Amino acid sequence: MKKRLLAGLLSLTMLTAQVLPVVAADDADVTVSENFSAEEETEEAVEETGLYDIELEEEEVGDVDDAEEGEFFYDIAAFDDDVIIDEYSVDADVPSYIFTDDSSEKVLIVNATINGNTYDLSTTVEYDTKISYRARKIKPYEDLGARVVSSGLNNLVQELATGSGDISNVIQWKFKAKKNVNAASDSFFTLKASVNKSLAKNAGITGKSLKTLNKAVKAFNKAAKAKTSRLGFTIVPISVDIMRAEKSITAVGKYRGFIFATEFAGYSHMRGRLEPDQPDSVSSSTYKKWTKLSKKDFKVKKVKGRAKTYNIEPKGKNFYGNSYTVTFN
């Protein structure tokens, strides 16, 4: 109430309309462990509404365009009074659905013949093969912990070195990921090697030795680009039921303020906690720190005969689970 009064006073002073995104209350119950104690909801907000008991408007609701920075205020509606969770803990610093998992090693077997000599350039890469959906590009090094743990190229550097310089970083590695945004999209990354010429020179690798090393790197990179050398990983979709139980997803509504009155302008978009370092709750200063979710991941429709009430249905690719309703204040 204080926030709305403040918005009204600002409107009176500045004589401008202000837009107020508001986080909606969940109407439906969620089954998942431990009980929450939350703010009380109005009768309309806590009314149980099953998926097949509601009438929906025919038109699907799209995102409302954001206004310019500085025009936003928002309020948070009450969550469900009680949310029951069976297998998941809401006490953890990181929600149960945000994870990387299944550390694995893959060996890229590469042999190359250079100037009549055969070299074993086989390389072992260690990385996590599963990660929860993040609504952004997954980066092999930063997100999956990908690293080269051994390589025949490093062995060749050791064989060719004649100087006293450090040889540990003569070979440098780069990871390049593909299909690395959406869940269940055959995600993978490839490995590419390069020679740090300055460090190679310090290690005494020059002339014919440097040419040999460069040819070995070229042969390795050609083999590493092959389909059989792809380093696959899985982006796992997220259960909206669990997110709701852990209070980590919300619908944002748009409001306009005119002096002391506020006018509801409709559903705007969804926000969710998808990163381990994001705040564990939303407030007027933190809601933008949650990830803005794509409208392509949810069907949002008005509920017929119920003011400011919308049905939210995950489409099943990046988010799955039961549909539910939200009501804005």
Q: What is the pLDDT of residue 292?
A: 94
Q: What is the pLDDT of residue 49?
A: 31
Q: Which of 23, 14, 12 is nearest to 73 (CA)?
A: 23
The answer to whether the CB of 6 falls within 8 A of the CB of 259 is: no
Q: What is the pLDDT of residue 60?
A: 56
Q: What is the pLDDT of residue 259?
A: 55
Q: What is the pLDDT of residue 61?
A: 61
Q: What is the pLDDT of residue 327?
A: 85
Q: What is the pLDDT of residue 86?
A: 53
Q: What is the pLDDT of residue 74?
A: 53
* Residuewise pLDDT in 10s, the chain (329 residues): 334 434 443 443 443 344 445 555 554 433 333 322 233 233 333 233 333 345 555 445 654 444 433 344 555 443 444 444 554 444 557 888 999 998 999 999 999 999 999 999 999 999 999 999 999 999 999 999 999 999 999 999 999 999 888 999 999 999 999 999 999 889 999 999 999 999 999 999 999 999 999 999 999 999 999 999 999 999 999 999 999 888 899 888 888 766 555 778 888 889 999 999 998 887 666 778 899 999 999 999 999 998 888 999 999 999 999 998 888 87
Q: How far from 233 is each of 49, 137, 283, 300, CA to CA, in Å?
A: 39, 13, 35, 31
User: How far is residue 38's CA from residue 114's CA, in Å, rounded to a whole number?
Assistant: 70
* Number of neighbours of residue 199 by Cβ within 10 angstroms: 18
Q: Judging by DSSP bridges, how do beta strands 324-327 and 309-314 pair with one another?
A: antiparallel
Q: What three-state secondary structure class fits 256?
A: strand
Q: What is the pLDDT of residue 260?
A: 55
- Tallying the residues shown for the chain, one arrives at 329
For helices 152-160 and 207-224, give the axis angle rounded to 10 degrees.
180
Phi, psi at residue 220, to the nearest 5°?
-65, -45
Say how far residue 97 (Cα) sits from the centre of its chain: 11
Q: Which of 239, 293, 247, 290 is nearest to 99 (CA)?
A: 239
Q: What three-state secondary structure class fits 94?
A: coil
- Long-range Cβ contacts of 276-282 (<8 Å, 24+ apart): 276/93, 276/94, 276/98, 280/93, 280/248, 281/247, 282/23, 282/76, 282/250
CA pseudo-torsion sign 78, 82, 87, 93: positive
Q: What is the pLDDT of residue 62?
A: 53
